[in-house]
Amino acid sequence: MTYGIDLELHENVAEVGGRVSGEVRRPAQPADSSDPVRALRLTLYCKTSGRGDEDEFIASKVELPAADDGAFYNRFELVVPSAGPISYDGRLIRVSWAVEARLDVKLKRDLKVHKPVLVVPLGGVAVYDRPHPLQ
């Protein structure tokens, strides 16, 4: 558990046009806790790296309100765009996908956790193996 956020993905592979699902947990905070949490934001985002300037975009997002004691337990689903791009590890370009869980903390820097996701072509789960950034 990192920063009190437990982010778990049911599968770390998803097809374009499919969904990334999982659960996010955070235990209740002590009454005297100094980090009032406003909300939890979950995003599925895509980012490039390599020789070119970075491109990054958010494909889908979900916002969950916090309980009074700062606790969360939620299942979520984030949609992967049908147009992709898929995860890719090329010669000049790498395309990576990840889910980010970000705690919106009042008057403090937001806390965040990331989990990588492999996005494969439609029909590609269990078949599409290369080339992508993860193994």
How far is Cα 62 from Cα 60, in angstroms, rounded to an integer?
Answer: 7
Q: Which of these segments, 18-26, 69-77, 80-88, 99-107, binds other proteins (CB under 8 A)?
A: 80-88
Tokens of 122: 């439609």
Strand locations in 29-92, DSSP E? 37-50, 56-65, 72-79, 88-89
Q: Which of these segments, 22-30, 33-41, 42-50, 101-109, binds other proteins (CB under 8 A)?
A: 42-50
Instruction: Show contacts with other proteins in window 49-68 (CB under 8 A).
Output: 49-55, 57
Q: Are 11 and 65 in contact (CB under 8 A)?
A: no
Q: Which residues bind other proteins (CB under 8 A)?
A: 12, 16, 46, 48-55, 57, 82-86, 88-95, 116, 118, 121-131, 133-135
